[in-house]
Structure 1
Amino acid sequence: MDKTENSVYLKCKDHTVSGEIFSLLWDEKYKMLRTYPAPDAEKLPAYYQSEDYISHTDSKRSLFEKVYHLVKNYALKQKLKYILSENPEKGKLLDIGAGTGDFLNVAKNDGWKVEGIEPNASARKRSAEKGIPLREHSDASFVEENISGYDVITMWHVLEHVPDLEMQLRQIKKMLKDNGTLFVAVPNFRSFDASHYGEFWAAYDVPRHLWHFSSETMTLLFEERGMKVIRKIPMKFDAFYVSLLSEKYKTGKMNFFRAFYTGWRSNQKALRSGEYSSFIYVIKQLNK
């Protein structure tokens, strides 16, 4: 493609809810993609109204969903280990986009003081049933009450969803303590599975995913704001999970063996290229 500002990188279909077609436009400044047209704030919640959106439902109707939750339980413990390796003294933790509260529940049981934010009402209800109440929004008053208030802030596959990226990054910077740590998990559109599936790559997930990042993007975004990516952690399971969904979007079937092979190839190629399907970025607050 011609990589000029706002040139069309790819056109993708919303396979989950609407069937609408969206464009992915190139952002030259941050070397990333943005979804166009982006739904306005009033219409965006409708694109999440699906039982297939399992991060909001906890559903276990199929073998795929049952396997997803088994892997998820393992991943939750791994995430906590990553946090403890950077922040061994358990303090105050904020999870933005907390879903049904599972990660906060694990962190709370480990001794962290936890808070969470989740816009989806049904997800908040499920979290509350687990003893983890969540706020709906991080409005201006909440941010002002919590300036330099958190040792750790986490966003597990959430940054790609936020409507106002600039405002979200400003809020995080305000709320994170000096030398505090931000953990951000996002897909990587530079991965092999992304190039293999193209418009059918499930991690594009338009229009719920409004922004599409690479490692270069994350370095540029946070360095500009006085923060530094100090570590990248590959999320190797994501290559398999995303490939399964991508097969379904492309062929109408999960095609477990083909998806497993593509996920395996993606991880193998990433050993040389460094471009895994998703990463957890460990980001330090350097200065206010």
Structure 2
Amino acid sequence: MEAVTECPICDNVEFKSYLTCRDYLVSNEKFIIQECISCGFRLTNPRPDDKSIGNYYKSENYVSHNDESGGFINVIYRTVRSYTLSSKTRLIKKINGGEGKLLDVGCGTGSFLEACKSSGWQIAGVETDSTVKALAQEKLKIQVHQDLSEIPNKESFNVITLWHVLEHIPNLNDAVRRLSMMLAPNGTLIIAVPNSNSYDANYFKEYWAAYDVPRHLYHFTPSTIEKLINKYKLQVIETKPMVFDAFYIAMLSTRYQTGKTNYIESLKVGLRSNAKARKTGDSSSLIYIVKKL
């Protein structure tokens, strides 16, 4: 385990306890989420170090690393994913004004990159898990990088995407700095992360599945995302809700809370969360569309 002694956003050294959550996916261990008393940034602290964090991803139910994991919830996830992949490819094409050069960070088994390749994009990917990376390379027939640092400095991309990935990256500031440098002129950075200020986060509290400790090292809100990217001359120009996330996360959360998935309760919470988000902007998960200043 390692302790974070300075806030990655504001460098403050004082934190307060926010929640204690359990790892329901792998270890059943408890982890503390702290909040910076200066800027409000939330993070898992202490957290597994680089040598041990991989052990917390070793589950056949970790669906982004496994195209064939079972269970009804994961079947729903993959069914919805086929729709959201189309939505994502339409979004990046609209933002970029056509196809171009794209980097997907945390590409998993390569489903999104495969859809982009089929749509005419030049693709590149980063995936830190060596086993999953091999699956992506076999599917995509390209070399997938293991780390952002492997990408040559001269490379630039019209679109860089991180779909539920930024919350997993230990060296947060280094990653955002590199991503900013890799953007082509008028390029777009797209970051999708859970929102710990959402209705469903406040409803489920320590059982909220999107805390996903210790794999999620950070627990963003719209305010803290903006503070982070503004440090690197980047600006959020638009946010978009990820509507399906509220239902998927609620299904997992009810199972963590009671030991059994409550589909009716999950539907109610998901509907309420999305309804409230239309007024507040605090969706369960948000897509941040980011440009250079």
TM-score with structure 2 setting the length: 0.92
- 2: distance between equivalents of 1:132 and 1:157? 24
Quick one: which of 35, 47, 55 aligns to 1:26? 35
- 1: distance between equivalents of 2:164 and 2:281? 19
SS state of the match for residue 115, structure 2? helix
Quick one: which of 240, 260, 273 aligns to 1:266? 273
C-alpha deviation, 1:121, in angstroms: 2.1
Quick one: which of 266, 289, 293 aligns to 1:282? 289
Which residue of 1 is the match for residue 221 of structure 2?
214
Residue 238 in structure 1 maps to residue 245 in structure 2 = yes
C-alpha deviation, 1:135, in angstroms: 1.4
SS state of the match for residue 272, structure 2? helix
Residue 70 in structure 1 maps to residue 79 in structure 2 = yes
User: How many percent of aligned residue pairs carry the same amino acid?
Assistant: 41
Structure 1 counterpart of 2:228, one-letter code:
L
C-alpha deviation, 1:125, in angstroms: 2.3
- Cα pair 1:143 1:174 within 8 Å, conserved: no
- 2: distance between equivalents of 1:13 and 1:128? 34
Residue 136 in structure 1 maps to residue 146 in structure 2 = yes
C-alpha deviation, 1:61, in angstroms: 2.0
Task: For structure 1, list consecutive stretches of 5 or more residues without a partner in the other structure.
Answer: none
Moved segments of 4+, more than 6 Å: none
Quick one: which of 121, 128, 137 aligns to 1:112? 121
- 1: distance between equivalents of 2:69 and 2:53? 25
Quick one: which of 190, 200, 208 aligns to 1:183? 190
Q: Structure 2 matches for 1:248-259, cutoff 5 A?
A: 248-259=255-266
C-alpha deviation, 1:28, in angstroms: 4.1
- 1: distance between equivalents of 2:291 and 2:91? 14
- 2: distance between equivalents of 1:228 and 1:100? 30
Q: Structure 2 matches for 1:22-171, cutoff 5 A?
A: 22-133=31-142, 134-139=144-149, 141-146=150-155, 149-171=156-178
- Cα pair 1:187 1:278 within 8 Å, conserved: yes
- 2: distance between equivalents of 1:271 and 1:88? 27
- 2: distance between equivalents of 1:49 and 1:150? 32
SS state of the match for residue 207, structure 1? coil
C-alpha deviation, 1:79, in angstroms: 0.9
- Cα pair 2:39 2:224 within 8 Å, conserved: yes
SS state of the match for residue 22, structure 1? strand
Structure 2 counterpart of 1:249, one-letter code:
Y
- Cα pair 1:12 1:22 within 8 Å, conserved: yes
Quick one: which of 218, 227, 233 aligns to 2:234? 227
C-alpha deviation, 1:158, in angstroms: 0.1
CA RMSD of aligned residues (A): 1.4
Task: For structure 2, list consecutive stretches of 5 or more residues without a partner in the other structure.
Answer: 1-12
Number of matched pairs? 280
- Cα pair 2:103 2:124 within 8 Å, conserved: yes
- 1: distance between equivalents of 2:49 and 2:261? 32
Structure 1 counterpart of 2:28, one-letter code:
G
Structure 1 counterpart of 2:238, one-letter code:
R
TM-score with structure 1 setting the length: 0.94
SS state of the match for residue 108, structure 1? helix
